[in-house]
A and B are shown apart, each in its own frame.
Chain A
Amino acid sequence: MIGLIKRYRVFLGLCLLNLILLLAEPATGRKALSITSENLLEMLSFLPPIFVLLGLLDVWIDRETMMRYMGENSGLRGHLLAFALGSAAAGPLYAAFPIVGVLLKKNASMMNVFIFVGAWSTTKIPLLVFESATLGFHFMALRFVFNVIGILIIAWIMKIQAKGEKLPIQE
């Protein structure tokens, strides 16, 4: 029980904050609660398949296969695969990190891991469609081109930065 409270202490603290907000500023507090419950429902709608896929990925793809397709020597094909995997995703960036954990554990290259993170954060296909519908095709297309360049540059710098780094997940 104590362990459970300790694990969720940040969450409980924020609940308290929301409660205070509810008492001090009822309209804002209610709004915060309704946005939270809306987001919670959205999160619960896309998270189950992501974690099932994560489990399947972990069990079925062994380290050798992952290294061949996304490892250090996977070359352009590995980059494209990382990009496609990230772009085909659903859900905000924080949902990507558990999958990043599996990729790192199975020795995908750092460059590909960061391409995956970059693609997941900005070039998701459903989001692109939505972006061009709300903000216009020109805005979307320009941002897409910039993003592809940006993702590659960031991934490349991060690969160099990560050299020799001991990652928490691999310990």
Chain B
Amino acid sequence: MFVWFLYIVTACLLFWSWRSDKKKTISALKKGWKAFENLLPQFLPIILLIGISLAILDPSTISRILGKESGLLGMALAAVIGSIVLMPGFIAFPLAASLLAAGAGYGQIAMLVTTLMMVGIVTLPLETQYFGKRLAIERNALAFVYAVISSFILGGIL
């Protein structure tokens, strides 16, 4: 539904742009296409890697690893799985909800969700292209540390 909103906003802006300056609009579309074409060799492997890893680590395997009383080990595993595997939120949240229902702790779930969304070892090469190696690694490391701290606090509160 939200994607439709994005399309409508984009269409309006495109329409406005076309009416104001056709040349600029064409060059904008060309730039957009070029950026997309440049990133395709990196997008495609990411998608495939997600597919392969989710097929191997299916929800039942994950819920066994992070299940009841997995404690600190569960936290650590959640962090490792979350950092390597990349899942869109729309897959991660229902999975997290089913894990909670299966008895996983709030802390483990927060850890999994936060690292899934903020830390991406798989996407590091892509990130390096924009920030350089050092900054890209540092951003991921900081996000990881943040995920650990916030998950422990969240696990303690809830």
Contacts and interface: CB of A to CB of B under 8 A. Distances in A.
Are A and B interaction partners?
yes
Contact of A97 (B14, B127, B132, B142): B127
Given A8-B44, A52-B14, A58 B28 contact: yes
A68 interface: no
Contact of B45 (A11, A35, A43, A158): A11
Contacts of A52: 10, 14, 28-29, 32
A2 to B, nearest CB: 14
A55 B131 CA distance: 20
B112 to A, nearest CB: 11
Interface residues of B, number: 75
Contacts of B13: 53, 56
B46 interface: yes
B9 to A, nearest CB: 8
A124 to B, nearest CB: 7
Most chain A CB inside 10 Å of its own CB: which residue of B17, B94, B132:
B132
A131 B89 contact: yes
Most chain A CB inside 10 Å of its own CB: which residue of B110, B130, B146:
B130
A167 B150 contact: no
14 contacts: A8-B41, A18-B51, A21-B55, A29-B55, A35-B55, A50-B6, A51-B33, A59-B24, A91-B88, A93-B120, A121-B118, A139-B106, A139-B158, A167-B131
